[in-house]
Amino acid sequence: MSEPNVLRAAVVGAGYWGPNLARNFATSDRWELAAVCDLDAGRAARVARASGGADVETSLDELLARDDVDAVAIATPARSHHAITMAALRAGKHVVVEKPIADSAALADEMVAEAEARGLVLMTDHTFCYTPAVRKIRELVEAGELGDLLYIDSVRINLGLIQPDVDVFWDLAPHDLSIVDFVLPGGLRPVSVAAHGGDPLGTGKACVGYLFMPLESGAVVNVHVNWLSPTKIRRITIGGSKRTLVWDDLNPQQRLSVYDRGVDYEQIVADGEERRAATVSYRLGDTWSPALPEREALGQMVTELADAIGEARAPLTDGRAGRRVLGVLEAASSSLAAGGTAVTPYLERELEISA
């Protein structure tokens, strides 16, 4: 097997998250960090230096004009994601973009369509999906270890910084939604989204929130996010017809537990009659906690980006995944504004895009 080529990345945006991307490209054996680009040259230079000496760019146009950049990682504010991504794709670059992928689902559709039309990789940086625990969850679901999925209950609560521009749904739920999107075969495509929020401090935005999303299969997904909790909980329960899995991110000694416990429900419809009977039985089997490797999620993500480019395929967290999560968040905001009424999310327009 021949050695895969080393690709060259540029990071656009040297603020909060950019340095992490830069560091991971710089230390990956699949990547070389070609440049760091920011309007603030000093900030870009600091990130470049800390990553071992990439070029500094202050002009996006000049960056995109370079031949020696294969992919661009965009870590700028959300409102600029669309414009920068479109420019990068038009310049023939592969793109990985922070979440939310854009500031509206319609714009995200354009980005997905552009990338697909050009045969370029568009990836959303759903970092949590690259943790060993979430990778393992996806594997277990795919392998059928849980059986049919019955419900997903996700809790992400903690004392949190009340954000000036986003509510608790947009601040915290993207993590839960991107994980649920990742582990559900086919991604998260709820029939409807109902959002309930509380703003008991009068901050002008929801600080406590609940999202309820039934799926077509009959399964239900619920997400609870909260900025006002004195205790920190990050737990996702995925109930299946065969087994149930609990991910407790704050228990490093046992992050994943797979319970061979559940309710077996069998409906018996007697022939020719209306009479229905049901037998209910309980399984109280073993619990199993798989060992997980210690790996940095972002390092796995940049490897997956390189693999997707090399194999000319969609990455695990592609633009459509970012688009689905964004669609659910938009539906949540609509539902919240409508007093919790269930709202049908505007899902990706697959036919048009794929055509």
Footprint on this chain of its own copies (rule: CB under 8 A): 148-151, 153, 159, 161-162, 194, 196-203, 207-208, 210, 212, 214, 217-220, 222, 224, 226-232, 237, 239, 241, 244, 246, 253-254, 259-263, 265, 267, 278, 280, 282, 284-291, 339-342
Residues 6+ apart with CB under 8 A from 236: 137, 152, 153, 154, 155, 176, 179, 180, 246, 247
Assess whether the previous peptide bond of 100 is cis (omega < 30° from 0): yes
Nearer to its own copies, 45 or 228 (CB): 228
* Cβ at position 210, least distance to its own copies in Å: 6
What is the CB neighbour count within 10 angstroms for residue 285?
A: 12
Nearer to its own copies, 277 or 312 (CB): 277
* Cβ at position 101, least distance to its own copies in Å: 28
| 8 A C-beta contact, residue 39 and residue 60 | no
* Cβ at position 196, least distance to its own copies in Å: 4
Nearer to its own copies, 79 or 261 (CB): 261
Q: Tell me the Cα Rg of the chain.
A: 22
Nearer to its own copies, 102 or 336 (CB): 336
* Cβ at position 173, least distance to its own copies in Å: 15
Pairing of strands 149-159, 220-226: parallel
Residues 6+ apart with CB under 8 A from 74: 12, 13, 80, 81, 84, 85, 88, 95, 96, 97, 98
* Cβ at position 354, least distance to its own copies in Å: 30
Nearer to its own copies, 59 or 344 (CB): 344
Pairing of strands 7-12, 31-37: parallel
Q: Crossing angle of helices 132-142/168-183, nearest 10°?
A: 50
* Cβ at position 45, least distance to its own copies in Å: 17
Nearer to its own copies, 92 or 204 (CB): 204
